[in-house]
Chains A and B, each alone.
Chain A
Amino acid sequence: MRFKDVFSIIGPSMTGPSSSHTAGAARLGRIARQWLGSTPERARLTLYGSFADTYQGHGTDLALIGGLLDYVTDDPRIPDAEEYAEQAGMEVEFFTSGLPAPHPNTVKIELWHGERQCSLVGASIGGGSVSVHTLNDFRVQISGEFPTLVLRHSDKAGVLASVTSTISSSGVNIGYMQVDRKARDGEALTAMEMDGAPSAEMLKRLQSLDHVLDIRVIDLKRGVEPDAV
C-alpha cells in the first residue's frame, strides 16, 4: 500500500499551498537534516521535474529550507525560512536539473557541517507523503512514517546478525529493512523502519558493535531537537 494509514490521507497539518511541493518538501528537508545530525552549514539542493518547474510559486524552496532547520510541516516560520536560515548561518544554494528522475517531484539534497557531509535523493509522492530513494548514494526505500534507524557499517559477515539480535533483545520489531554496499568488504548502509522508537540504551549497544561506523535515527514524529553533532 502506498498510503499506509488514515493520517496519510487526512493530514498533515501544514503551511500551504501544496502538500506535494510544500509539506512533502519540508519533510524531505527534515529527514536530510536528521541524516546529517545537525543544522547544516551549507546546503546544496537540486530540483527535478515539477519541483524544478514550479518550486518558487509553491514555496518549495522555503519548505525545504524550513525542513533543514528542523521545522515541522505547519511551522509558521516556513514562509520566512530564508531569513531564519541566514540567522542560523546556513548557506543554501538551489539548482534545477532537466535529467529524468524517479518521480516528478524529486530533490537531491547535499549537506555539509564541519567534517560531516551527507546526501539524500527523495521524492514527494502526494498528500505530504515522501519516499527517500538514496542516502549517500546507497539505495534505500524509506517513508519517514516510522522511526528509522540508519547504520553505516563495514561489509563484514555477521554484522547484520549482531545488529538484529541487539534490536530484538530490546523488544522492538523491524517492519522493513534494506542493505546496500558500495563494494564487497567496503562501506555498507542498512536502513530499518521500526515499529517503535529506539531507546538510548539500544543505540548505545548498537554503536559499540564491531564494524558499526555510525548510527542515525530518522523520526519525523519526534519533537524538534537541539543541535548535536
Chain B
Amino acid sequence: MRFKHLHELNTICTAESKTIARLMIEEQVQETNTPEADVVRQMSEYYQVMKEAVRKGLTEDTTSRSGLTGGDGKKMAEYIRQGETCSGDASALAMAYALCVSEVNASMGRIVATPTAGSCGIIPGVFISSQERFGWSDEHLVNGLFCAGAIGYVIANNSFISGAEGGCQAEVGSAIGMAAGAMVELRGGTPEQVVHAVGLALKNTLGLICDPVAGLVEIPCIVRNGLGAVTALAAADMALAGVRSAIPSDEVIDVMLEVGSAMPSRHRETAQGGLAQTPTGRKMMEKLAKPKAKRAEPEAESEPESTKNNSKEQA
C-alpha cells in the first residue's frame, strides 16, 4: 500500500484528484494482484450481507443465546414511527439499524466484521439509513466501504482495532472513525475533511474500556454500536462544516495506542472490570455460568511453542 498514515491518504488523493475510495480500490488491486471487478464484487457482497442483517434485526427474533439481549432495534424503529425523536429521525434510524445488526451478531447470525464483529453495527447503521435518506445507489455505498476500509487499515496498522488489545476505543472507536470519514466522502467532502472527521470522532472515544458483561459481545456492546452510529454522523457533520481536528488525526491514532497500551487487562475484554464487575453484571455472569472444560492435564500439557520468543506478539 502506498499509505500508512491518514495524512498520506490526503496528500496522495489531493495530488492525484482521487477519492479515498478510488485510491483504496487501486491499491487493493495492486497489492493482491486481483482484478478490480473481483475486488468490487467482494465488497458488494459484503454490503448485501449488511443489508440482510438490518432486515433480519427489524423482522426476526434476535434474542441472543444467553437470553440477555435482543429486540431493541425493533423497539427503536417502532419508536421512530410513533412520533418525534429527541436526536432527530436520521440519527434515530442510524441507531435503530446499528442496534439491529449488533443484535443479529449477538444471536450468532450473519454479519460482516467492520472492523470487528463487536463493532459490526456502526457502519451498516450509518450507511443503510443514509442510503434510504439520500437515495444513493448501492455502488456509491460500496465505494464508501472502500473509504472506510482505508481509514481502518491506517488505524489497525498504527494502533489497534480489537477490544482485547486496546479496549472498546479500538473496536467501537475505530468503527465510528471509519463511518464518520466515509460519510464525509459519501456526501462529497474532500479527503482532508475525511481525515478531520476521523480525528474528531476518535477524540470522543479515547479511553473507552472494553468491559463486556459475562465476557459476551452484548452488554454494553450493542448499545455502544447504536450510540456510535450517532457519533459518526455528528463527526461527519462537524468535518463537513469545516471544523478541523486541532490535534492531527494521525496523532490522535497514536494516542489511542498509548491509552490502550496503558489500560489494565481487566478493562480489555477480560470481563474482570468495568460494567462486567458491577453487582448486576456479576449476577448475570453467575446465572450464565456453565460447567467449564477440564483444565489440561499436567502430563499432556505443553507450552505453546513460541511463548518464549514472542512475548511482544500481542502488542
Which residue from B115, B120, B269, B296 sits with its C-beta under 8 Å from A97? B296
Q: Are B165 and A126 in contact (CB under 8 A)?
A: yes
| Contact digits for B116-135, partner A, Cβ 8 Å, 1 yes 0 no | 11101001000000000000
Q: Is the CB of A17 within 8 A of B117?
A: yes
Contact A4 B31 (CB under 8 A): yes
Q: How large is the interface on B (under 10, 10 to 19, 20 to 34, 35 or more residues)?
A: 35 or more
* A117 proximity list for chain B (CB < 8 A): none
Chain B residues near A59: list those with CB within 8 A: 65, 108
Taking a contact as CB atoms under 8 Å apart, the answer to whether B217 and A16 are in contact is yes
- Tell me how far the C-beta of A180 lies from the nearest C-beta in chain B, rounded to whole angstroms: 10
Is residue B99 within 8 Å, beta carbon to beta carbon, of the partner chain? no
Residues of B within 8 A of A229 (CB): none
A15 surroundings in chain B (CB, below 8 A): 108-110
**CB-nearest residue of chain A to B165:** A126
Distance between Cα atoms of A48 and B117 in the complex (Å): 21
Which residues from chain A contact B49 at a C-beta distance below 8 Å?
A: 13, 74
Closest to A7 in B: B42
Contact assessment for B105 and A121 in the assembled complex, using a CB-CB cutoff below 8 Å: no
A-B contact count (CB 8 A): 222
B270 contacts A53, CB within 8 Å? yes
Query: How far is the CB of B248 from the nearest CB of chain A, in Å?
Result: 21
A9 at the interface (CB under 8 A from B): yes
Interface size classification for chain A: 35 or more
With A58-B215, A127-B162, A195-B33 as contacts: A16 and B303 at CB distance below 8 Å: no
Chain A residues 4 to 29 lying within 8 A of chain B, measured CB to CB, are 4-20, 22-23
Against B, the Cβ 8 Å flags (1 = close, 0 = not) of A62-83 are 0000000000001010110000
Residues on A with C-beta less than 8 A from B172 are: none
Chain A 21-61, CB within 8 Å of chain B: the 1/0 string?
Answer: 01100000000000000000000001110100110111100
Of the listed stretches B7-15, B86-94, B152-160, B190-198, chain A binds: B152-160
| In the bound complex, CA of A8 to CA of B216 (Å) | 23
Distance in angstroms between the alpha carbons of A101 and B296 in the assembled complex:
14
Contact A2 B292 (CB under 8 A): no
What is the predominant secondary structure among interface residues of chain A facing chain B? Answer: mixed
Interface residues of B in 69-122 (CB under 8 A from A): 104-118, 120
Nearest B residue (CB) for A98? B295
A198: min CB distance to chain B, Å? 15
Contacts A78-B108, A101-B307; A57 near B116 (Cβ below 8 A): no
Minimum CB–CB distance for A91 against chain B, Å = 14
With an 8 A cutoff between CB atoms, is B255 at the interface?
no
Within 8 A of A (CB), among B259-315: 269-271, 288, 290, 292-297, 300-307, 309-311, 313-314
Find out whether the CB atom of A57 lies under 8 angstroms from the CB atom of B215: yes
> In the complex, which residues of chain A have a beta carbon less than 8 angstroms from the beta carbon of B293?
47, 93-96
| A3–B218 alpha-carbon span in the complex (Å) | 26
- Chain B residue with minimal CB distance to A75? B110
The 10 closest A-B pairs by CB, nearest first: A54-B215, A16-B105, A126-B162, A9-B152, A6-B149, A94-B293, A17-B217, A134-B305, A19-B113, A95-B296
A-B contact pairs, 27 of them (CB 8 A): A3-B153, A6-B28, A6-B43, A8-B153, A9-B161, A10-B146, A10-B152, A14-B113, A15-B108, A16-B105, A16-B120, A18-B117, A50-B270, A54-B214, A99-B304, A99-B307, A100-B311, A101-B304, A108-B304, A121-B304, A125-B162, A128-B113, A128-B116, A133-B304, A133-B306, A137-B305, A139-B309
Question: Given known contacts A96-B296, A139-B309, what 20 new A-B pairs fall within 8 Å (CB)?
Answer: A9-B148, A10-B146, A11-B113, A13-B46, A14-B112, A15-B109, A16-B105, A17-B217, A19-B117, A19-B118, A22-B117, A53-B270, A56-B290, A57-B215, A95-B294, A102-B304, A106-B304, A121-B306, A126-B165, A131-B313
